[in-house]
Amino acid sequence: IDAEYTTNLDKSWDMSFGVSYMPFKGKIGDESRSDTDQQTAGGGAGTTTSTGTNSATGELKNHFTFYLEPTYLLSKDSGIYGKLAYIYSDLEIKSSNITGSSLNKTINAEGWQGGIGYKTMIDKNTFLKLELSYSNYNKLSATSDSGNTFTADPEIYAATIAVAYKF
């Protein structure tokens, strides 16, 4: 979902200001591995062995983008643009391990986005956008109740095709 306001700066340049909301979740990590945990009882009385799976997932949700988009006009109906944006999302982290420790936490992820694109009018009120972008979020970290730490430094490379209606 995208809302954009565009103003003409001169005969060769437009400037767009916009906000986007992505109502879908995006998985940024999903790992699991088999593991064996050995613990020695106090006083050397014996060793306990546990075998199982450690797992962790990360999903971005409630993703917002606030952007500026200067556009160089190739004609009255098309142009090439650059994009600079502030991005914000909730990162939902879930993990569990064989020792019984778990983590179920949502933390804020924010960062910046840069991109380039081409847009053209298809008819009087419909336009097409083709865009390549790179998003970089701040480094994220969360710790489970037993002290296990989940860290992520999310980056997203994207190619987007959008068809939009101009009011």
Secondary structure of 61-97 in HEC code, one letter for each residue: EEEEEEEEEEEEECCCCEEEEEEEEEEEEEEEEEEEC
Out of 22-31, 45-54, 60-69, pick the least confident. Answer: 45-54
**pLDDT class of 92 with cuts at 50, 70, 90:** confident
pLDDT tens, residue by residue, 93-114: 887 765 666 778 888 999 999 9
Q: What is the pTM of this model?
A: 0.75
* CA triple 36-41-43, angle to 5 deg: 145
Structure tokens, 25? 């979740």
Most distant CA pair in the chain, distance:
84
What percent of the chain shows pLDDT beyond 90?
52
